[in-house]
Copies of this chain bind each other. A is one copy, B any other.
Amino acid sequence: MTARRPSLAVVGATGAIGGVMLQILSEHADVWGEVKLISSPRSAGGKLVVRGEETEVLEISEDVFDDVDVALFLASDEVSRRWAPLAASRGAVVIDDSAAFRTDGDVPLVVPEINPHASRIRPRGIIASPNCTTLALIVAVGALHAEFGLRELVVSSYQAVSGAGCDGVTALREQLSMVAGTELGTKPGDVRRVVGDAHGGPFAAPVALNVVPWAGTDAGDGWSSEELAIRDECRKILDLPSLRVSATCVYVPVIATHSMSVHVRFENEVTVDRAHEILATAPGVVLYDSPGAGDFPTPADVVGTDPTWVGRVRRSMDDPRALELFVCGDNLRKGAALNVAQIAESVAAEFPRS
C-alpha cells in the first residue's frame, strides 16, 4: 500500500489569515494531499498560489467538502456557524478559528503546546482555536501553571489593530498619514477633529496618537466581549473552571502583534530564576529578559515570528506567589493561522499512513 496523505480544505483562503495560512502550508508542504481553497461566492473564481502551484479558489457549498479529511475555517463567526457543521457532517474534521464554537461544551479549545490531547475528543467533529489575545498569553502562562499552580490572572492588553481585521489596519494607516508631520496630540480633541473624516474603521475613537480601551462588543456589566473571551478561554484550555481572570483590552497604534502586561498569582511561591528556567525551555516560548540591556519583547521585533516572547519577568515585591510578565505574540501567526495549522497537523497524524 502507498501512504495516503490526508486532504485539506481552507475556508477563507482569500482573507488576511488565509494568506498567512497559505505561507505556512507552503513551508510544511509534505503534510497534506489535495488542498482545496474555498471562499465566499464574492471572492471565488480567482487563483492563489499554495505550495508553489496556482490553485483555483472554489465557492463554498456542501459538496465541496466531499472527500475532505480536514477543513480549516478562517472566516467569520457567521460562516463557521452555518458551514462548519455541514463540513463535519460530510466527514471532515473541522478546525475553526472563529468565536462560533469556542465556548461550546462539545467542542474542544486547543493550544497544542498546552492541551494537545483535548483535540482527540470532538463530539461534533469540530475543534476550536482560541482568540488571538488568549493565544499570546496562554503558552507562557500555561508553562508556569504546570509547576506553580495558577490561581489568578490580571491582564491588560496592548492589541494591534489587525486584531480588528483589515479594516483596522486601513484605519490606522489612513489616520497616521493625517497626523504625521503635524503638531497634533497636545490640545483637547485635536486628533479627533483631524481624523474625524478619515476611515474610522472598527474603532470607537481615533487610534493614531491614541489608545482605545474597547475591543469587541458590549458583553454587559461594563465588560467587552474580548475581555470575557480571555477569561472563558483560559479557564477552558487550562481546565481551571474557577480560575480568577480580570482582563482589560486596549487597542494601540501597532499594525500586528498583541502585547500583554500580566500579573499572575500562583498557589505556590515562585522565584524569577525558576520562572526563567521554565520559560527558557517551554515549547513555543522565547525568553527575552534583560531589560537593563534593552532586551525586552516589543511588537516591532516580534511581528512575523511564531513564538510567544516573554520578558520583564519580576516577582511582586509584596506577594511571593505573584509574577509580573510582559508578553508579545503575532496575532496573525500563532494568534490565528499557526495555531490552526498546528492543530491540523496533529489531526493529520491520526490518519493511517499506509
Give chain A's interface residues, CB within 8 Å of chain B: 152, 154, 156, 158, 173, 176-177, 179-181, 184-192, 204-206, 209-214, 218, 221-224, 228, 231, 242-246, 248, 250, 252-256, 259, 261, 263, 272, 289, 291-292, 294, 296-305, 311-319, 322, 324, 326
Contact = CB atoms under 8 A, between A and B. Distances in A.
B246 A318 contact: yes
19 contacts: A154-B263, A156-B156, A173-B180, A176-B176, A176-B180, A180-B180, A187-B303, A188-B304, A190-B300, A192-B300, A204-B294, A206-B298, A209-B299, A211-B298, A221-B314, A222-B291, A222-B313, A244-B319, A246-B263
Contacts of A214: 291, 294, 296, 312
Report which residue of A297, A298, A304 has the largest number of chain B beta carbons within 10 angstroms of its beta carbon. Answer: A298
Contact of A210 (B179, B205, B248, B298): B298
Contacts of A245: 317-318
B298 A254 contact: no
B158 A211 contact: yes
B154 A298 contact: no
B291 A224 contact: yes
A254 B221 contact: no
Given A177-B180, A253-B253, A213 B311 contact: yes
Contacts of A263: 154, 246, 263
A5 B209 CA distance: 42
A173 B176 CA distance: 11
B188 A301 contact: yes
Given A189-B301, A210-B300, A223-B314, 12 more contacts: A158-B250, A186-B256, A188-B301, A191-B300, A210-B298, A210-B299, A211-B298, A213-B311, A221-B272, A223-B317, A248-B261, A261-B261
A352 to B, nearest CB: 38
A192 B116 CA distance: 36
A313 B213 CA distance: 12
A318 B223 CA distance: 13
Contacts of A184: 255
A30 B294 CA distance: 48
A300 B223 contact: no
